[in-house]
Chain A
Amino acid sequence: MSTVFPSRLGVGYSWDNVCAMALDPSLAERTFATEAPYSVSREKIAEFASAIGADPDEDPDSAPFTFPMVVAFALMGRLMGDPDVGIELRNVVHRDERIEQIRPVRAGDELVAILTVESLRAAAGVDMIATRTDISTVGGEAVCTATATLVHRGAA
């Protein structure tokens, strides 16, 4: 394994860092897809809008900008709970986020998503997990792409 790890992680990683890594490097090639389409209801939009302090009656059919995170987070949960991964949510901190919107989510949308673990690196006792989640309708219409970096503590 010692010959495989450094080449996968690229130049600049010392053996010390590689040893400190708690997560299996093969995670960097994994994808997680929704098992069934997520049906967006007016009620869920209203619940989400209220939770972020917005007026749910203002535009009951249009979801707030960050609403697709409901679908993306479910896939994050799948990633963390995967038997080969085993990340405890409490040890995870969200480092950064980028959401590129193609169009807002609307009530009646049937959403599907695929999360790709884009990279994995270890530094100073933490794992940095870069993910990309592409969300679209079942019909193939792109809705948004969310990229997030998660920091997992307890790697050492």
Chain B
Amino acid sequence: MRLTEGQQLEARAFRVTRADLVRYAGASGDFNPIHWSDRVATSVGLPGVVAPGMYTFALASRVVASWVGSTSDIVSVTARFTKPVGVPDDDSGAGVEVAGTVRSVADGLATIDLTVTHGDQKVLGMAAAVVRC
């Protein structure tokens, strides 16, 4: 894919439900109870069950792969988990949106700044991907 500096990439929106978290726990092997038990999550000071940081990271990486056309064109993805994504025990879950802007293009590599939000809060800090282009 041809990427140019300053280009805004098509944002994608996701709904994350408790059922998704259960599936992800099984698939990833991360059975931390803060990702499935309100009782444990609140006992360690969280407002309730939160999505694993790596779940949000996985969604962001999927979107990056869709922008560039293939997972194999991703060189790296970096993020800091700045705010938790609380996932309520209901059918609609939590909204996560992934947007991106091309920061720079040089020597066949592009750096994309990622903006990943939950409601009006950024949940990933200093999030960026380097891709072949």
Binds B, one of A1-9, A21-29, A44-52: A44-52
Q: A46-61 interface mask toward B, CB cutoff 8 Å, 1 = contact, 0 = none?
A: 0110111110000000
Q: How far is it, in angstroms, between the C-alpha of A64 and the C-alpha of B83 when the chains are bound?
A: 24
Binds A, one of B3-11, B23-31, B113-121: B23-31
Known: A53-B59, A65-B58, A97-B57. A74 touches B29 (CB 8 A): yes
A95 CB-CB contact with B under 8 Å: yes
Tell me how many residues of B have a C-beta within 8 Å of chain A.
Answer: 38
Tell me how many residues of A have a C-beta within 8 Å of chain B.
Answer: 34
Which label, helix, strand, loop or mixed, suits the secondary structure of the A interface?
mixed
- Specify the chain A residue showing the minimal Cβ separation from B130: A100
Q: Name the B residues within 8 Å of A52 (CB-CB).
A: 24, 27, 55, 58-59, 62
- Specify the chain A residue showing the minimal Cβ separation from B129: A65
B101 CB-CB contact with A under 8 Å: no
Minimal beta-carbon separation of B30 from chain A (angstroms): 5
Minimal beta-carbon separation of A102 from chain B (angstroms): 9
Binds B, one of A11-19, A84-92, A107-115, A128-136: A84-92
A35 CB-CB contact with B under 8 Å: no
Binding site for A on B (CB under 8 A): 14, 20, 23-24, 26-34, 40, 43-45, 52-55, 57-59, 61-62, 64-65, 71-72, 74-81
